A and B are shown apart, each in its own frame.
Chain A
Amino acid sequence: MIVILLNGIVMMLSLYLIYIWVPPAAILGETSRIVYLHVPLAWVSCLAFAVAGIASLSFLKKSKINYIVYARSSAHIGLFFSILTVITGSLWAKVMWGSYWNWDPRETSITLLLLLYIAYFSLQQIVSGNPKAPMLESVYLIIAFVASPFLIFVAPRLYPTLHPEPVINAQGQLMLDTEMRLVLAISLVSFTLLYYILLGLWVRIYVLKSKLHEE
């Protein structure tokens, strides 16, 4: 319960800071506030993916069933947040560069993450009856987990000729001064706490589901 309360307070604080307190960035004005939402969303999707990868790895090592529950729950949250990130990203790109989609390296890596989640869940659907399902899922997740850093090396080299360098590269290289950086940090913390709560909810769902099947 404390975590929920704590997160409630931090969330409200970050909300207040984002929408009212922090000074808008030089050129972008109001829309620059979206950074404080978009970046944490992307961060949580990656965090969820990493947690799912590590959970699958430990499931392989110790093959205790609750690790696979963590991997699945974390993947659920990751899927939801990566969808949100893609939506907010493209909405914002509409303003920044005038088109909903223009192959910015950040966008492609998040989309790849979304593709990975979709692939993972389609696998999960198909193997749900199979006794080897947990093993198949975690092996695939580990393969994806190992392959994903490679894209980070590839992303900046992606179609370098077509990619216009914006005044402010909207994803991360924003010239953040101290206040903005502080607000971003708080927002990141509040979203991570939110992730933690959602993880607890999903784990609860899986535990209840397995209880149901057992009887």
Chain B
Amino acid sequence: MIKALWRNIQKDILIEFRSRIIVSIVLSFSVIVTISIGFATGGIINSPLLHAAILWIIIFFSGMNTLSHVFFREIEESTALFGVIHYPAVVIYLSKLLINCCVMVVIAIMVIIIYVFVISVSVYHGIYLIAILIAGSLSLAFATTVIGAIAALAGARGGLFTILAFPVVLPLFTVAIQSTARCFEQQVFSPLSAIIFLLAFSMVLGMVSYLLFPYIWREF
């Protein structure tokens, strides 16, 4: 099982780095949006809530461009059947899920670095911020992987995926924004409840998606 998983992940990583579609989209998107916000506000945003909201909107929308790409490429080049005749659908799901998680965490880290660099924000609780960012991006990946598959199978490029994913992701989106906002304020707080909520949310959706994925990833 682990070997099969590793082979799938290795294949996807090789293809992604060779085709370099994801990397270029994500990098350009997050940089452009952050800088344009920097321009618009001259780098001075006083309310921490606004900082957090902008940060998460950038992460969310750069995620929306990439999370369904992993499946879309398989459908577009109709290599999905090739995978299905060699591996069970759950192995394919887990490998895509892990890739989406890595992609989302990389996006989150990159966006926060660019954000702090471009827009003057005072981070009081750095470690908490990183923890929430990672928990949030992981839960984004967990929640939207199957929806990415649905959007890819439906054949619609990016648009449908965002529409489908947004209402499902809204709960964790609001929790993430609120807890990140507190990181930009002085008073001490514990991000534990937010992180637990985010992880619980992703565990539940991850489990349900694990069971549902084989129903849609077949008969190509």
- Measured CB to CB, the residues of A under 8 A from B are 60, 112, 115-116, 118-119, 122-123, 126-127, 130-132, 135-136, 139-140, 142-144, 146-147, 150-151, 153-154, 157-158
Contact = CB atoms under 8 A, between A and B. Distances in A.
B147 interface: yes
Contact of B150 (A112, A118, A136, A158): A136
18 contacts: A60-B212, A118-B163, A119-B164, A119-B166, A122-B160, A123-B164, A127-B153, A130-B154, A136-B150, A136-B154, A139-B212, A140-B147, A143-B147, A147-B143, A147-B169, A151-B170, A153-B171, A158-B174
Nearest to B151: A123
Contacts of B172: 150
A90 to B, nearest CB: 19
Interface stretch (B2-10, B113-121, B201-209): B201-209
A146 B202 CA distance: 11
Contact of A115 (B160, B166, B178, B212): B166
Contacts of B205: 143, 146-147
Range of interface residues on B (Cβ < 8 Å) = 20 to 34
Contacts of B163: 118-119, 122
B216 A130 contact: no
A143 B201 contact: no
A130 B155 contact: yes
Given A136-B154, A142-B212, A150-B171, 17 more contacts: A60-B212, A116-B168, A122-B163, A127-B154, A135-B216, A139-B212, A139-B215, A143-B209, A146-B205, A146-B208, A147-B167, A147-B168, A147-B205, A150-B172, A150-B201, A153-B171, A154-B197
A126 B160 contact: yes
Nearest to B170: A112
B57 interface: no
A154 B204 contact: no
B168 A143 contact: yes
B111 interface: no
A158 B175 CA distance: 8
Contacts of A151: 170-171
B171 A123 contact: no
B146 interface: yes
B147 A157 contact: no
A140 B167 contact: no
B219 interface: yes
Contacts of A119: 163-164, 166-167
Contacts of A139: 146, 150, 212, 215-216
B23 interface: no
A-B pairs with the 5 shortest C-beta distances?
A115-B167, A150-B171, A147-B168, A151-B171, A154-B171
B156 interface: yes
B72 to A, nearest CB: 14
B148 to A, nearest CB: 11
B86 to A, nearest CB: 21
B48 to A, nearest CB: 12
B215 A140 contact: no
A116 B166 CA distance: 9
Contacts of A144: 167-168
B78 to A, nearest CB: 14
